[in-house]
Amino acid sequence: MSLNPRLENLDADDQTGDMPYNAVETIIRKREGDRLDDDQIRWLIDAYTKGGIADEQMSALAMAVLFQGLDDHELSVWTDAMIQSGERLDFTGLSRFAVDKHSTGGVGDKITLILAPLVAACGAAVPQLSGRGLGHTGGTLDKMEAIPGWHADLTDDEMRHQLETVGAVICAAGADLCPADKKLYALRDVTGTVESIPLICSSIMSKKIAEGASGLVLDVKVGSGAFMKTLERARELATRLVSLGKAADVATVALLTDMSTPLGMTAGNALEVAEAVEVLAGGGPADVVELTLALAREMTALAGLDVDPADVLASGQAMDKWRAMVRAQGGDPNATLPVARYSEALFAPVTGCITSIDAYDVGVAAWRLGAGRARKEDPVQAGAGVLLHAKPGDHVTQGDVLMTLHTDTPERLDDAKAIITGAVTIGDGPAPARPMVLDRIA
């Protein structure tokens, strides 16, 4: 079915300027699998951003895109239209090469907290505009806000000054950066269209391109705790993300990384900050160190820096950058982090070897304990979360502590235990080790 966009019975309220399109026709056209015109896409994004298209109409279109997709050209135009809905930052005037990292979201993913100061210590500028958690995946800003005094909101001038003087910034995106994405992201979350690859791609890359970095490394998570459950779907997502970045003259590389098991030993805001600081101090879990260095090496390569991030991490320079970065945004790097008022240990029911810990179950448990939110406006508990005492491959004896649950509201414990009790599988011997980095797309 091919529909003519010039319908005879358009209402004036359905049009923007002289564009001969309306929302219902656009929904039908994509529902039937037809390609949307460039101008039609630009009209759609502009009209929705300005309130000319109702949420229920955009919801229907998002579902049509979920089922019918967007081809590469449609996706490029859609992404550019979202960029054009707001301001675009420019860091080309900085004395350092600006390189950013984006993770598609996981459980225990505190990598940004370590990576930003580490890559800054290597000589790059790292403008890390981050978000808050929703559902079972944690948010970087929630983690940083567990640090007493730290604040996420900076003006563009403050962000640029911090990048020039410190080298790294973790902050919230300004209200004028991709307002179309802010509206569409919230809509997707409540309409069952989050997993649409074109909508994921346009959401991520519109923000990242608008942020103005010259290089971008993407950490595309794969596994139970990720949006992409299979390697095939993750590879498709990564390939389209990289293509969009390169088309916008942003040097872009993607790593596909394992999210079948939580990263590190913690899931929860203050718990993860403490673990990140442990890594910056030269310790920390091996998987967190491994992934941090893999991403740092990609970022420094894009920035043209001849330096080994492992040496910089070992030297303590990254810790110095972390402390400077926290102070620059009002935080006290020496302050005691919040601790939840209640905790409960869970014990190994049998003796054996841990063969798996389901990342999704751990993430949902942390969310139920108060570390996450169901809606963007919900508060989070800084001290809530899950502390693991063993990982896959470790041998445990019946009665050993497997994990500790933390919360300020003990009435949440039963709901958390209901899902996390089945998260750990104990067998006779270790399962084959799964590599941290599963693939690289460039």
Which two tokens mark 355? 């063969």
pTM of the model: 0.91
Q: Please give the pLDDT value at position 7.
A: 34
Catalytic residue of the set 29, 30, 183, 207: 207
CB neighbours (10 Å) of residue 314?
11
State residue 12's pLDDT score: 35
Q: For the chain, which residues make up each domain, given as ranges?
A: 12-69, 99-328, 342-427
pLDDT score recorded for residue 26? 96
376 annotated active-site: no
Residues in CB range of 399: below 8 A, 6 or more apart: 347, 348
pLDDT (tens place) for every residue of the chain, 442 residues total? 333 333 333 343 444 445 578 999 999 999 999 999 999 999 999 999 999 999 999 999 999 999 999 999 999 999 999 999 999 998 888 999 999 999 998 999 999 999 999 999 999 999 999 887 766 777 899 999 999 999 999 999 999 999 999 999 999 988 889 999 989 988 887 888 988 999 999 999 999 999 999 999 999 999 999 989 999 999 999 999 999 999 999 999 999 999 999 999 999 999 999 999 999 999 999 999 999 999 999 999 999 999 999 999 999 999 999 999 999 999 999 999 999 999 999 999 999 999 999 999 999 999 999 998 777 677 899 999 999 999 999 999 999 999 999 999 999 999 999 999 999 999 998 778 889 999 999 9
What pLDDT, on a 0 to 100 scale, did the predictor assign at position 15? Answer: 43
Task: List, in order, residues 6 or more apart from 311 with CB less than 8 Å away.
Answer: none
Which of the following CATH numbers is that of domain 342-427: 1.10.1040.10, 3.40.640.10, 2.60.120.10, 3.90.1170.30? Answer: 3.90.1170.30
Catalytic: which of 80, 109, 181, 361?
Answer: 181
Catalytic residue among 42, 160, 183, 188: 188
Torsion sign (Cα): 404, 132, 209, 306: negative
Q: Which residues of 243-282 are buried (b: 16+ CB within 10 A; e: fewer)?
A: bbbebbebbbbbbbbbbbbbbbbbbbbbbbbbbbbbbbee
What per-residue confidence (pLDDT) applies to 14?
44
| Class at the top of the CATH hierarchy for domain 99-328 | alpha beta
Give the architecture (CATH level 2) of 12-69: Up-down Bundle (1.20)
Burial of 311 (C-beta count, 10 Å sphere; 0-12/13-18/19+): exposed
Q: Which of 203, 214, 224, 260 is catalytic?
A: 203
pLDDT of residue 134: 66
Active site residue 188: yes
Catalytic residue flag (residue 182)? no
The answer to whether 102 is a known catalytic residue is yes
Q: Which of 29, 30, 101, 102 is catalytic?
A: 102
Please indicate whether residue 207 is annotated as part of the active site.
yes
Cα(200)–Cα(85) distance, integer angstroms = 17
